[in-house]
């Protein structure tokens, strides 16, 4: 889509920021815009900063039509960076300005060149417009770099490519797609590496490798550097790898802590800070929820005592103090679930309030910058601080009804909280952490156990691994790598220890969960802890019921989970084998294979899963898991995280077409038995059964 509206918009915006030659001031053209993705919030700037905002070099204006772009875009306040004006499917602007190379990362080489799409801008509420490379069309442009894939283009049908404008400017859907893809590839690379570990110890970095692959294939977005908000990235979003922030354009450098933009073409260098990561390498003061004392870069890890220099990131922060532009702040901290790793929280926009130098611990002079959080932003880091307090018992949890709803039945307490109304709890039920069968699941009795004492990834002698297509389904960190038709876990029949890594769904809760009262959807479930994509949440506990009997009884049961009627078909979660040059198309299916349908009722007995609400844009999926009790195989329904989930975010899954609704009267029944959906997601289907 070169020359499309999105691009010319971006180019124009870019130029506004970058070219600050005073004599070409178009001040009246440029309105105030808190949402404008590229510029500091002019409303909150002093007069000196206004001058900076207003410059709009006429040289990049392709035509009089383009004059409207900044104003329209800014006034529209489009959250996702879409164009709220113009002809959505309109012809590409032939006069789009030439890209300014120094402000855009170099163009990646798509593995498969994308096909032209009719309308790639403009449909604000629409689905992510991604190209499926069928390479059937004659209009497909091929570059020479494609050749390594030419022989196997058949197996690459599912690879989704982003077009130029999608790589330059993101949206919620594009960002989500990139993040899902990144983690799916990373998990697969980790899985391959862990399987090899038995033979050779390769210290590879799956996170870097996954990032590198996606970069080279153009699966990234928000490549145009900008100050302020990044379309599709929300305050509070969490990341487990630096690469991930790099791919979605939140923070460009994969290592350095300060991202900045240099105003090239200007005689004097005027770098501007865009985002910073505070992660503990330097002696930052990051305890206050709204103030961050950030240390400049340089001088650390040097053999001799070195003074930091006022250049690059340090200079950029200094200039940003003068310009008073918004700076994205990402706070990194130790991941308590995985102490050797880190987790990064996007904490929104800050401004540099003052700067000074002082003597660092190692003796050299260092720069310090005091950043203050801009008011009235959604809370992010402060939620983490609150959770920390609740966990340590200081500070009372507002609205706490019960410290442990499960009364000790789980290995972690489950809080019951209501801070919205006077409801003192859900209706009575018995807490039970697993599924109760009254008769065998299947008529056949199979010995399914393996013979290992320690099931080791890559060991194909382990028949539990063989049943999972030869892959150890979980990583050492406990996350699931891929959805599969059926997941086979080790069981009491296996001689391996109960802490075997292939028993993830049997080992209880991993996160401190909370059942809480929502404002309009009854009771819901959320977690105090951050959750990684692929992490196990809980299983669907309850009584296995006979579906036919259930229908006859006509007694209302809103707590039914039914494998036969669920539908997660729209979810594509697994890695794309073609990205890793794997010929594995058939085995990578995400269609479930349920040998015998299973219906579970959590009305009388159940666990936390019975409180999970429906969403058309869920963060949890369910996966059938098979293992044995008393020498007989039983089917369980296990829930895993689709994406990284920040603390205190409601956990939801897609009820699909199941006749199950949440237990509360938060849905209004329509004539045909459908329930009105209140999930509020952009792609909400409106109703579910």
Partner DNA sequence: GCGGACTCAATTAT
Partner DNA sequence: CATAATTGAGTCCG
Report the interface residues with DNA, using CB under 7 A. Answer: 102, 105-106, 201, 203, 205, 207-209, 211-212, 215-216, 225, 240-242, 246, 252-257, 262, 264, 269, 271, 277, 279-282, 297-298, 300-301, 312-313, 332, 339-342
Whose Cβ is closer to DNA: residue 253's or residue 399's? 253
Whose Cβ is closer to DNA: residue 182's or residue 622's? 182
* Smallest distance, DNA to C-beta of residue 488, A: 27
Listed residue (377, 375, 355) closest to 365, CA to CA: 355
CB 481 within 8 A of CB 475: yes
Q: What is the CA radius of gyration of the chain?
A: 27
Query: Which residues make Cβ contacts (< 8 Å) with residue 432, sequence separation at least 6?
Result: 409, 541, 542, 605, 606, 607
* Smallest distance, DNA to C-beta of residue 377, A: 23
In whole angstroms, give the CA distance from residue 37 to residue 23.
24
Q: Hey, what are 482's tokens?
A: 């891929």
Whose Cβ is closer to DNA: residue 45's or residue 245's? 245
Whose Cβ is closer to DNA: residue 260's or residue 640's? 260
Listed residue (458, 547, 558, 566) closest to 502, CA to CA: 458
What is the dihedral angle through the alpha carbons of 80, 85, 86, 89, rounded to the nearest 10 degrees?
30
Whose Cβ is closer to DNA: residue 60's or residue 214's? 214
Whose Cβ is closer to DNA: residue 282's or residue 634's? 282
* Smallest distance, DNA to C-beta of residue 174, A: 17
* Smallest distance, DNA to C-beta of residue 62, A: 25
Backbone phi, psi, residue 650, to 5°: -60, 140
Q: Hey, what are 302's tokens?
A: 């040097």
Whose Cβ is closer to DNA: residue 37's or residue 633's? 37
How far from each other are the two terminal CA atoms of the chain, in whole angstroms? 39
Backbone phi, psi, residue 52, to 5°: -60, -40
Whose Cβ is closer to DNA: residue 25's or residue 256's? 256
* Smallest distance, DNA to C-beta of residue 253, A: 6
Listed residue (685, 93, 39) closest to 324, CA to CA: 39
Whose Cβ is closer to DNA: residue 242's or residue 501's? 242
Whose Cβ is closer to DNA: residue 213's or residue 487's? 213
Listed residue (511, 566, 542, 295) closest to 436, CA to CA: 542
* Smallest distance, DNA to C-beta of residue 2, A: 20
* Distance from chain centroid for Cα 248: 10
Query: Which residues make Cβ contacts (< 8 Å) with residue 306, sequence separation at least 6?
Result: 298, 299, 364
* Smallest distance, DNA to C-beta of residue 189, A: 11
What share of residues in the chain are helix, strand, coil (percent, to 5)? 25, 20, 55
* Smallest distance, DNA to C-beta of residue 339, A: 6
Cα dist from 205 to 130, 211, 255, 573, whole Å? 29, 10, 14, 22
Whose Cβ is closer to DNA: residue 93's or residue 297's? 297
DSSP, res 2: T
Strands (E), 136-283: 160-161, 238-239, 258-261, 272-278
CB 512 within 8 A of CB 529: yes
In whole angstroms, give the CA distance from residue 625 to residue 636.
5
Backbone phi, psi, residue 564, to 5°: -70, -30
CB 139 within 8 A of CB 157: no
Cα dist from 567 to 29, 399, 435, 485, 683, whole Å? 50, 35, 21, 13, 16
* Smallest distance, DNA to C-beta of residue 160, A: 19
Whose Cβ is closer to DNA: residue 167's or residue 674's? 167
Whose Cβ is closer to DNA: residue 13's or residue 613's? 13
* Smallest distance, DNA to C-beta of residue 432, A: 33
Whose Cβ is closer to DNA: residue 156's or residue 251's? 251
* Smallest distance, DNA to C-beta of residue 47, A: 28
* Smallest distance, DNA to C-beta of residue 347, A: 15
Strands (E), 146-267: 160-161, 238-239, 258-261
* Smallest distance, DNA to C-beta of residue 40, A: 19
CB 66 within 8 A of CB 93: yes
* Smallest distance, DNA to C-beta of residue 307, A: 11
Q: Hey, what are 416's tokens?
A: 């019951």
């Amino acid at each position: 889509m070169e020359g499309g509206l999105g691009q010319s918009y971006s180019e124009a915006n870019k130029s506004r920021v970058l070219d600050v030659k005073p004599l070409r001031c178009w001040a009246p053209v440029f309105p105030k815009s808190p949402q404008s993705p590229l510029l500091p919030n002019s409303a909150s700037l002093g007069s000196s900063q206004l001058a900076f905002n207003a410059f709009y070099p006429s040289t990049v204006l392709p035509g009089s039509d383009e004059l409207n772009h900044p104003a329209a875009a800014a006034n529209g306040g489009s959250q996702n960076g879409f164009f709220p004006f113009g002809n959505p499917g309109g012809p590409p602007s032939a006069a789009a300005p030439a890209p300014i190379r120094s402000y855009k990362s170099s163009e990646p080489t798509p593995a498969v060149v994308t096909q032209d799409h009719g309308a790639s801008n403009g449909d604000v509420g629409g689905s992510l417009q991604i190209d499926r490379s069928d390479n059937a069309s004659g209009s497909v442009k091929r570059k020479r770099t494609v050749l390594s894939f030419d022989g196997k283009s058949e197996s690459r049908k599912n690879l989704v490519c982003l077009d130029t404008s999608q790589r330059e400017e993101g949206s919620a859907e594009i960002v989500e797609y990139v993040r899902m893809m990144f983690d799916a590839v990373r998990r697969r690379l980790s899985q391959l590496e862990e399987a090899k570990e038995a033979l050779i110890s390769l210290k590879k970095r799956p996170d870097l490798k996954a990032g590198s692959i996606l970069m080279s294939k153009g699966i990234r977005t928000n490549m145009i550097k900008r100050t302020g908000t990044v379309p599709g990235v929300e305050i509070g979003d969490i990341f487990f790898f630096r690469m991930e922030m790099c791919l979605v354009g939140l923070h460009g450098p994969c290592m350095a802590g300060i991202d900045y933009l240099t105003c090239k073409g200007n005689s004097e260098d005027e770098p501007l800070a865009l985002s910073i990561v505070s992660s503990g390498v330097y002696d930052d003061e990051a305890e206050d929820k709204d103030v961050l004392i950030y240390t400049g870069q340089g001088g650390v890890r040097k053999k001799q005592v070195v003074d930091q220099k006022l250049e690059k990131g340090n200079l950029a922060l200094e200039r940003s103090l003068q310009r008073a532009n918004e700076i994205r702040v990402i706070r990194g901290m130790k991941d308590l679930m995985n102490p050797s790793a880190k987790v990064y929280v996007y904490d929104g926009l800050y401004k540099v309030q003052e700067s000074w130098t002082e003597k660092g611990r190692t003796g050299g002079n260092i720069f310090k910058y005091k950043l203050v959080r801009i008011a009235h932003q959604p809370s992010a880091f402060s939620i983490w601080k609150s959770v920390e307090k609740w966990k340590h018992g200081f500070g009372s949890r507002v609205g706490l009804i019960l410290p442990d709803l499960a009364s000790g039945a789980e290995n972690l307490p489950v809080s019951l909280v209501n801070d919205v109304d006077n409801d003192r709890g859900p209706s009575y039920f018995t807490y039970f952490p697993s599924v109760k069968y009254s008769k065998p699941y299947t008529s056949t009795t199979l010995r399914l156990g393996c013979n290992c004492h320690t099931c080791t990834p890559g060991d194909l002698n382990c028949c539990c691994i063989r049943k999972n297509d030869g892959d150890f389904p979980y990583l050492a960190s406990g996350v699931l790598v891929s959805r599969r038709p059926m997941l086979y876990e080790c069981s009491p029949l296996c001689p391996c220890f109960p802490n075997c890594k292939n028993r993830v769904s049997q080992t209880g809760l991993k996160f401190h969960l909370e059942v809480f009262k929502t404002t309009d959807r009854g009771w819901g479930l959320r977690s105090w802890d951050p959750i990684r994509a692929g992490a196990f949440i809980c299983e669907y506990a309850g009584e296995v019921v006979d579906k036919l009997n259930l229908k006859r009884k006509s007694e209302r049961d809103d707590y039914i989970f039914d494998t036969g009627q669920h539908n997660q078909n729209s979810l594509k979660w697994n890695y794309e084998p073609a990205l890793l040059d794997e010929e594995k198309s058939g085995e990578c299916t995400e269609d479930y294979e349920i040998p015998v349908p299973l219906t579970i009722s959590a009305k009388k007995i159940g666990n936390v899963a019975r409180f999970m609400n429906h969403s058309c844009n869920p963060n949890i999926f369910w996966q059938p898991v098979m293992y044995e009790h008393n020498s007989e195989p039983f089917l369980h329904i296990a829930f895993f995280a689709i994406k990284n989930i920040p603390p205190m975010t409601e956990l939801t899954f897609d009820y699909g077409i199941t006749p199950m609704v949440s237990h509360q009267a938060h849905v209004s029944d329509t004539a045909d038995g459908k329930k009105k959906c209140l999930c509020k997601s952009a792609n909400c289907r409106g109703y579910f059964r």
